[in-house]
Structure 1
Amino acid sequence: MLNFDSHALALLFLTLVLVLWRRWKDSRQYPLPPGPKKLPILGNLFDIPRKGFIWLDYIEMCRKYDSDIIHLSALGNSIIILDSVKAASDLLEKRSSLYSSRPKSVMLNELVGWGAIAITRPNDDIWKSQRRILTNAISPTDVKRFHPKQIATTHELLRALAHSDDIIRDLNMWTTVLITDITYGIQGEEAQPFIKTAIEAVETITIATTPGAFAVDQISILKYVPEWFPGAGFKRKAREWNLLRTKMTEDPFRVTKERMAAGTATPSLASIALEKMDLTKDIAQQEELIKAASVTAHIGGTDTIVVTIASFILAMLMNPDIQTRAQLELDRVLAPGDLPTFSLEPDLPYIQQLFGRHQPVVPLCFPHLVTEDDVYSGYLIPKNSIIMPNVWSILHNEEDYPDPYEFNPSRFLDANGRIDPSVKDIGPAFGFGRRTCPGKELAMASLWIRIASILTCYKIEPEIDEHGNLAERKAEWYPGLTMFNHPLPFKCRFIPRSKDIEASLDMKFT
């Protein structure tokens, strides 16, 4: 056993203090990024936007301080807003080893129990394993295996839209049907018992991830407050939401396993991953990873597709000239009565540009966490800072997209009507670096086939008012405090474009 005299211990202690002091001094040689003046203890608690459309408030804040990187703090939490694609790329992609973790949400991760899935998981071995599962099952080269499922559910949606009195409800229903099939191989009527749970569970995640929605995320000690205590309604919510989480995670996965054992499973993310398990390693541990990766895909593929399609339909309603041009492109490629197939996508470049940039679904990218002190552009980025790229600002940058608030799909095309590679694409809408959505190609395919099919079948027109006149074309967006950008419920008419399409879908437009 080693023995140290008092002098040696004192020298060791002083050396440690000196090293720590020098590290602190070196880090403080650099200022924090600009931002609002901070109050003692509270920091910028009262400067953080809380009135909805928070991404627009952050744009104004960056303009005020003339910086594409600003700093706020609140109750000891350090927050960095990135307002340009350069800053986001420099940090989240070029320095991804430092910037690929996730901040912990007490409400979402601990109390509701979503801390094990890839979306919320820190940059650890479990997250990496789940990421590999997702990448292997829905890689760009393997997306084609899901095309039949995407086309089948799209045709069902087309039939539903003909008589829809609640567009967003129907979009939600048919998107969840598709994602349940892709994720677990559970199809049609068999999927119905799982759909309600999935829709409700995803809605709770949307609420729980809203900045400032729950005080427990700022004051973590509140998680120990008992349910009966006044003001502890969040604990009761968390218990109820945890039950939804469990049902959404366990029930469809169990069905997939049972069908695989019976030899009746259809190809799905879960079945593919289960087939690829290494039988020489811990089976139970691998199954838990696949279960978490599967529910991650289920969550990630629902709201985003619903909101994007709803935003597209609203954009067509508000921009009839763009709708007409898109349909002319379809008519040049498709024979009368034909419906779009994926093989036609290269011949429809205008259709490819109808979604993503103008109204991004997640205007503030899901937060990253930096795991070490860093210096960027002469500013200190403190360890454990929450990093939030402003995707809205990036996709509305005037230098990249002149007249950025104009809905103009032609901006992405060259003089010959082909995709112009010199124009920045909508990549930032799918995240950055190691946290880029692994299902991007699958999501893009689902969006494209639905948009092309809707425009092939229908002309999107305003409702008729009580006087027999066309109702006012109006687009309104949910103003509440949320991470998602989605339109308020709206109504329109889906007018069949031809009897040939009616015959193709084997339906009656009445």
Structure 2
Amino acid sequence: MTGSFWLLQTKVDPSVYLFILVILLLIVWANKKQRDGLNWPPGPRPWPIVGNILQMGNDSLPFKKLKEFRKKYGDVFTIWFGPIRVVFLNGAAIKDALLQPGDTFSGRPDISFFRNFLKGRTISFSSINEEWHTRHKSTKQAVGELMNKGHLQTIVNAEINATLEVFKNTKATPFNCQEILQDAVGRTIFQMCFGPLEGQHGKDTLKRYVQAIVGLPDELPYLMLAELYPVLEPFLRKHKRAFYNKSDYLVGIIDNHRSYLEEMGLISESEEYAENSIMDILKQKDADLYKYVILDLMGAGTDVLSTTMYIFILYMTIFPDVQTKIKREINESLDVDDIIEPIDIAKLPYTEATIYEILRHARPTMVGIPHATTRDAKINGYDIAKGTVILPNYESILYDDQLWKDPFEFNPNRMLTSTGQVDVEKKRLIPAFGIGKRKCLGKPIGQMSIHLFVMRIMQACSFRPVLGEEPSLDWIPNLVLRPKPFKVRIQI
């Protein structure tokens, strides 16, 4: 009693009482958020203000912690990022949610970035509404038209030939092929969007585009962090500025290039051009839509595709036995003088199995862009209120020991049936291009490009490590997981 009386008599700065009061209110607020009458998915108890961020561990890749949470709480659990509740989906719950009929799990979070980025007109980031469905349908049709005409295949083959010429000129000296792959993929997507490169202006425009687009997705996590924790915004301002400056710069490149093409008469007068570019297909339906769709395709495609190809070469260098088997299969199944077609991948089950095992093992896209519920929903018996942020943890599928024996081991044979054919069911488990209505619209382009690249490159090249500089499977964490830069010796 005496101690308590002394405490009451002690002079304490009023700000201390205010601080204690704020903390108590935040604790009450957090508990209230947990108990709002809904049967929310379970999860670790959040701390005031910071949520669960301090419980995610200090590993640069937080998936070990997510795996622990999944083991404790199940396939659906809640993590608080500051004041924002995020429901993580794991394993079978991902497809159960994202493949539900309708748009229930296909929204985007109601935060300023998604609302304001490029006026909210991009397909990747904007909310789902009637306009979104119209844009989505138009873009899907435009991509389909180009695929059916075989125009994309012509572009891809031309870029692979140019890449092979660069590889040949290295004369087996140590070479980092990352930049040449970025250029090749950039040229492919650029020509698909705009049509053939015309003169020096086209080449200069392409160069500026590739320089601006590479690394753009890497700024996104910093923008999300600034949204979740506004107090950190001053420290993340340079990333925010870099993202928006690059985005505006890219829109300017697109507008300027279209103006140039119109001035040169390459849009209105060239029937071949009009048949072979996404821009001309889309501008007939919406005069302004094409620029946002093109930025969508270029932004995601250039980075993800070039990184996937870079990773493939990494794996061939680290696993020479796999490389030897692929080259043997290609040499036995394809004539060196034949023009390789996308359908030829069906003749190469081990090669195709290796592609999908690399996509599983390397997991270039581990977590999808955040979704949000468009209405109240249920998943695995839990209540999910409208507007809740949903994050699919694709790594939980790719490394699930219930689906894959020894998941941390790289083994292309796991993707084959007992008869030596590609296991279709296992291939479907690989969410390389996303799942559901938000999956990448460029999926057909990506699949064709990767298949043609692998077949042509492996038919012509062998990849050897540089003595004393052997590459490793160490990764640079970000929205797109990248290997650390490496050099190889390319023999043709």
Whether the TM-score (by the shorter chain) exceeds 0.5 is: yes
> TM-score scaled by structure 2?
0.82
- C-alpha contact (below 8 Å) 1:113/1:245 kept by paired residues: no
Letter in 1 for 2:485: P
> TM-score scaled by structure 1?
0.79
Select 1:454's aligned residue among 450, 454, 457.
457
Q: 1:346, CA displacement in angstroms?
A: 1.8
Report what 2:472 is aligned to: 474
Report what 2:11 is aligned to: none
Distance 1:96 1:364, change over 3 A: farther
For residues 75-474 of structure 1, the aligned pairs below 5 Å read 75-84=82-91, 86-104=92-110, 106=112, 110=116, 113=118, 115-139=120-144, 142=148, 144-163=150-169, 165-187=175-197, 190=200, 191-203=202-214, 205-210=216-221, 212=222, 216-218=226-228, 233=238, 236-237=241-242, 240-255=245-260, 257=262, 258-263=265-270, 266=273, 267-274=276-283, 277=284, 286-336=286-336, 338=338, 340-355=340-355, 356-465=359-468, 471-474=469-472
Distance 1:240 1:377, change over 3 A: closer
For each residue in 1:335-384, what CA deviation from the matched residue of structure 2 results, as whole angstroms up to 9, or x when unmatched?
34556333422211222222222212211012111122322223222322
Give the 3-state SS of the residue equivalent to 2:79 in structure 1. Answer: strand
- Equivalents in 2 of 1:236, 1:421: separation in Å? 44
Letter in 2 for 1:344: D
For each residue in 1:118-151, what CA deviation from the matched residue of structure 2 results, as whole angstroms up to 9, or x when unmatched?
1111112232222112210123962733211111
Q: 1:426, CA displacement in angstroms?
A: 4.5
* Structure 1 gap segments, 5+ residues each: 1-23, 224-228, 279-285, 466-470, 497-510
Q: 1:101, CA displacement in angstroms?
A: 1.1
Q: 1:170, CA displacement in angstroms?
A: 0.8
- Equivalents in 1 of 2:324, 2:62: separation in Å? 34
Give the 3-state SS of the residue equivalent to 2:404 in structure 1. Answer: coil
- C-alpha contact (below 8 Å) 2:177/2:310 kept by paired residues: yes
For each residue in 1:65-108, what CA deviation from the matched residue of structure 2 results, as whole angstroms up to 9, or x when unmatched?
24111101223211011111x20111111154211111255457
Number of corresponding residues: 447
Give the 3-state SS of the residue equivalent to 2:462 in structure 1. Answer: strand
For each residue in 1:232-285, what CA deviation from the matched residue of structure 2 results, as whole angstroms up to 9, or x when unmatched?
5456445633432332442344445552123265312222333xx35xxxxxxx
- Equivalents in 2 of 1:447, 1:231: separation in Å? 35
Report what 2:487 is aligned to: 491
Distance 1:394 1:234, change over 3 A: closer
Q: CA RMSD in A?
A: 2.9
Distance 1:56 1:176, change over 3 A: farther
For each residue in 1:136-187, what CA deviation from the matched residue of structure 2 results, as whole angstroms up to 9, or x when unmatched?
0123962733211111111111112234533111110111011101111132
* Structure 2 gap segments, 5+ residues each: 1-31
Say yes or no: does 1:54 pair with 2:62: yes
- C-alpha contact (below 8 Å) 2:79/2:87 kept by paired residues: yes
- C-alpha contact (below 8 Å) 2:85/2:389 kept by paired residues: yes
Give the 3-state SS of the residue equivalent to 2:360 in structure 1. Answer: coil
- C-alpha contact (below 8 Å) 2:251/2:291 kept by paired residues: no
- Equivalents in 2 of 1:358, 1:46: separation in Å? 28
Distance 1:475 1:117, change over 3 A: same
- C-alpha contact (below 8 Å) 1:364/1:391 kept by paired residues: yes
Give the 3-state SS of the residue equivalent to 2:424 in structure 1. Answer: coil
- Equivalents in 2 of 1:239, 1:358: separation in Å? 33
Which of 264-273 and 318-327 deviates more?
264-273
Letter in 2 for 1:217: E
Distance 1:197 1:70, change over 3 A: farther
Give 1 or 2: higher helix fraction. 2
Distance 1:187 1:304, change over 3 A: same
- Equivalents in 2 of 1:383, 1:495: separation in Å? 56
- Equivalents in 1 of 2:58, 2:112: separation in Å? 19
